[in-house]
Amino acid sequence: DVPTGGHAVDHSPGGMVDRTIRQRVRFSSSPRELYEMYLNSREHTKATGGTARIRAVQGSAFSAWDGYITGRNLLLVPHRRIVQSWRASDWSRSELDSLLVLDFIESGRGTDLRLEHLHVPARHAHSLAQGWRDYYWRPWKAYLRNRG
């Protein structure tokens, strides 16, 4: 099992150090609700507080947090999985895009959301792992609770 708090794993392909962030978060909402919230510009923006431009179209580009995050939807399995290329605006040109995998797993009356964020540049791994908690999971929970 993956610890709820998440952790990072070192990789060293071609001499470039990168990391994988793994987190698991429990939500009382359905996989469908979370999946659709993430892939809808208006809902994504409301849930996080940062402007998002995103849609549920495989191959489409997206941005979040007022353009700080950009990427492309590589694979969409409705209500189950999102795979994206992903990068932040403060990454150097030499740092390659990372790969984000979000799995929405039905569990009782809610969802276990599992994040695996691969090939994150080592110098960004700690702040990015904390950023998922501070700028996604906590705001999502508050938004869903208040929307309830």
Cα separation, 126 vs 87, whole angstroms: 15
Cα separation, 77 vs 89, whole angstroms: 27
Q: What is the pTM of this model?
A: 0.89
Nearest to 124 by CA among 3, 21, 13, 15: 21
Q: Which residue's entry shows tokens 């999985």?
A: 81
pLDDT in tens, 108-147: 999 999 999 999 999 999 999 999 999 999 999 999 999 8
Cα separation, 14 vs 140, whole angstroms: 37
Cα separation, 135 vs 108, whole angstroms: 26
Backbone angles phi, psi at 143, to 5 degrees: -60, -50
pLDDT in tens, 51-81: 999 999 999 999 999 999 999 999 999 999 9
